[in-house]
Amino acid sequence: MNLGLDGKVALVSGGAKGIGAACVKLLLAEGASVAIADLDQAAGDALVTSAPVGRLLFFQGDLSNESNCREAVAETVESFGRLDILVNNAGVNDAVALDQPPEKFLASLQRNLLPAYSLTHFAAEHLKKAKGAIVNLGSKVSVTGQGSTSGYAAAKGGINALTREWAAALAPNGVRVNAVLPAECNTDQYQRWLASLPNPVATRTAIESLVPLGHRMTTPEEMAAMVVFLASPVSSHTTGQIIFVDGGYTHLDRALTAQHQKWS
């Protein structure tokens, strides 16, 4: 399917690795030019080296800093002449739990929620001009809880709320806003977490047994496919939606899981 992204320009936060990098690669494959805003210089440079010449820009910076968000948007528009798509992906599950002091909670919100607000704030006029699209990356933690990550859960709950708020605010300007939420996604970061555990193989098997569709983790490429579809003109009448790409993990009855079937 031709998604109609030839000549479009996207800015992807946290686009150097994981789900963000998968989004960048697919946007490029569909004909868009892309700017990445990320902390990881080496990963960003590697993507630029492998991309079509002149179609990928890397901006290195900490997006919890407002001025870096302003500059990332400005550099994108200066380099490519427009901005059609914003993918708010930057963030990390930092395990700031309820036993942490309030300043740690605030720092988690600054890492995981403020970049999305700041980038959207600075990109809004360009997106209005283009009648563009925003896709926010959330997390199933925003609706399930996890018990050990108050800051991240609050930030991703905020992403859900802002998706609906921005969809309402920007609908008169023809800008669509949607969110895509993973559950268990097989990113490099997830693999590093598994490797830090006493029995990574057993833990992964147990987690995958809880995913109804295929008893496996979601891939970054599957996440990217939904993100890029929602960013494209093909989804031209879809806005304000919170979409789970998780193999049924979050919402389907536990009776569908392998673990339940084993016990029954």
* 249 annotated active-site: no
Q: How far is CA 201 from CA 185, 209, 214, in A?
A: 16, 12, 17
Three-class secondary structure assignment of 152-215: HHHHHHHHHHHHHHHHHHHHHHCCEEEEEEECCECCHHHHHHHHCCCCHHHHHHHHHCCCCCCC
Catalytic-labelled residue, pool 117, 152, 190, 249 = 152
Quote the CA–CA distance of 28 and 175 in Å, as a whole number: 21
| Contact in structure between 61 and 71 (CB atoms under 8 Å) | yes
CA dihedral 81, 112, 220, 141 (to 10 degrees): -140
Catalytically annotated residues: 152
